[in-house]
Amino acid sequence: MGNNRLRIMSIVGARPNMMKVAPLLTEFRLHEEIEPILVHTGQHYDYLMSQVFFDQLRVPPPDYNLGVGSGTHYGQTAEIIRKFGDLLQHDRPDMLLVAGDVNSTFACALVAAKERIPVAHLEAGLRSFDRSMPEEINRILTDALADLLFTTEESANLNLANEGVAPDKVFFVGNLVIDSLVRALKIAPGHRLRAELGLTTKPYAVLTLHRPSNVDHADQLSRTLDAVAELAQRIPVIFPAHPRTSQTIKTAQIGAVRHWEGGSLPAAGLWMMPPASYLDFLDLIQHAVMVITDSGGVQEETTYLDVPCLTYRDNTERPVTVSSGTNKVVGCDPHRLLLSALEILEHPLYTRGKPASLCPPLWDGQTAPRIVRVLKQTLQRDLASTAERVPL
Ligand code: UD1
């Protein structure tokens, strides 16, 4: 251990990693004995998919950027493995932290495990039980490699127990996404985009779509957007589009969307725009009548914010957002999506303002300090046992 400090290396690669790792980096700064190292794989690289999160979450620039960029799943994963493997040859931490389920998560966990560097997985144990999702494969493999598994909800604890993971490796600590959200709401309500859209007092809905199964096939995407366009005759729908989604819309010339070019929106329409910044996005969903999404993190954020969420997928790996949150999984059926959305417009599912006790357990903004306590205990114990074994 260099300088007797605990060297903890964290990986970010894709957009959903940023809000999970940011609260930990902030917490690390309160502990002198920790030396944080940040690696960006470069899986996401556009300003609005990456740097804007560093700026808004006040994350210092990464110590290393592997600059892997886009590619096939296999090409991208292989490139991360190769470049991260090279990096570990000259900078070897005491522990590696990976978050979520993206290609960067699994690729870096694999390299560290082979290097016998302990791996901690943030958001372990979530399962959709749908192996057609690349993320499900990444989750299963990362959990199999991890030495410490930090979980966000009870279902994850159960899944890991069912898979035979030793209970002393699993720590139920709550949700870092909520840590970031709580902090963001406190420090900087970001309402510039909502104001610019002229939506500070008008009702509207928000749509996000990026799963390959929903957006890579023009026919399926086109039918989905036609259904949302029908909803959008009643209420404007704001659609900050992921680059993967924009590509299909552009290539297939899907006509259901209108392109926002700045300024106030009229009373109706499905309005596509570039990805929103973190603060603008939270502000948009917080004040929306409903959110339609296929994202994992958005299901959690709407649960905390008490906003109705329709998940456009056949399953969710985050069942607590349905059992004690505001989420409804509607399947990938455009007709059912439209009916469910109209139902929310006509008969709101529930009244807002649920008591805090109804939020999922430990979704309280205090997950980062809980994780750091475990990391310190584990690393100090491991170092002490190594010292015992090596006679001085
Ligand atoms: C990845 C994650 C997914 C996560 C999502 C959030 C995996 C397997 N998937 O999917 O779990 O929910 O990020 O966004 O890791 N692109 C750009 N600019 C960028 C990034 C991507 O234009 O900054 C384009 C590229 O053309 C790329 C495509 O988007 O080919 C898809 O990017 P990629 O990182 O492969 O996967 P995502 O669909 O973003």
Summarised one tens digit per residue, pLDDT across range 188-223 is 766 789 999 999 999 999 999 999 999 999 999 999
What is the pLDDT at residue 384? Answer: 81
What is the pLDDT at residue 293? Answer: 98
Q: What are phi and psi of 275, to 5 degrees?
A: -50, 140
What is the pLDDT at residue 356? Answer: 53
More reliable by pLDDT, 354 or 153: 153
Q: 116: Cβ–Cβ under 8 A, 6 or more apart, which residues?
A: none
What is the pLDDT at residue 1? Answer: 46
Over residues 61-67, the mean pLDDT reads 98
What is the pLDDT at residue 190? Answer: 65
Task: Look at residue 97 and tell me whether its pLDDT is greater than 80.
Answer: yes
Region of residue 57 (phi > 0: left; psi between -120 and 50: alpha; otherwise: beta) = alpha
Q: What are phi and psi of 268, to 5 degrees?
A: -140, 175
Identity of residue 84:
F
Region of residue 313 (phi > 0: left; psi between -120 and 50: alpha; otherwise: beta) = beta
> Which range (73-87, 223-237, 288-302, 378-392) has the least confidence?
378-392
More reliable by pLDDT, 89 or 384: 89
Q: How far is the CA of 234 from the centre of ligand 1 (A)?
A: 31
pTM of the model: 0.95
What is the pLDDT at residue 347? Answer: 77
Ordered DSSP codes for 1-44:
-GGG-EEEEEEE-SHHHHHHHHHHHHHHTT-TTEEEEEEE--SS
Half-sphere exposure of 315 (CA within 13 A, CB side): 12
Confidence class for position 351, pLDDT limits 50, 70, 90 = very low
pLDDT in tens, 355-369: 555 789 999 999 999
Mutate to test the pocket of ligand 1, among 128, 210, 214, 216 (most ligand atoms within 8 A of CB): 210
What is the average pLDDT score of the chain? 94
Q: 110: Cβ–Cβ under 8 A, 6 or more apart, which residues?
A: 81, 141, 145
Q: Kindly report the protein residue whose alpha carbon is nearest to atom 13 of ligand 1.
A: 14
What is the pLDDT at residue 359? Answer: 87
3-state secondary structure of 127: coil
Percent over 90 (pLDDT), the chain = 89
What distances in angstroms separate CA 172 from CA 13, 26, 363, one per listed residue?
A: 24, 20, 11
Q: Which helix (H) or strand (E) holds 382?
A: helix 367-389
What is the pLDDT at residue 119? Answer: 98
Q: How far is the CA of 151 from the centre of ligand 1 (A)?
A: 24
What is the pLDDT at residue 380? Answer: 84
pLDDT in tens, 305-338: 999 999 999 999 999 999 988 999 999 999 999 9
Mutate to test the pocket of ligand 1, among 12, 20, 43 (most ligand atoms within 8 A of CB): 43
- Starting at the edge strand that comes first in sequence, how are the strands of the sheet with 64-65 ordered? 64-65, 34-40, 6-12, 95-99, 119-122, 148-151, 170-172
What is the pLDDT at residue 2? Answer: 47
The reply to whether 31 belongs to the active site is no
CB 28 within 8 A of CB 8: yes
Q: What are phi and psi of 263, to 5 degrees?
A: 90, 175
pLDDT in tens, 117-174: 999 999 999 999 999 999 999 999 999 999 999 999 999 999 999 999 999 999 999 9
Q: Encode burial over 15-42: b for 16+ CB neighbours within 10 A, e otherwise.
A: bbbbbbbbbbbbbbeebeebbbbbbbbb
pLDDT in tens, 194-203: 999 999 999 9
Instruction: Indicate which atom in ligand 1 lies nearest the CA of residue 242.
Output: 14
Residues with a CB atom less than 6 Å from ligand 1: 14-16, 43-46, 49-50, 70, 76, 101-103, 134-135, 210, 242-244
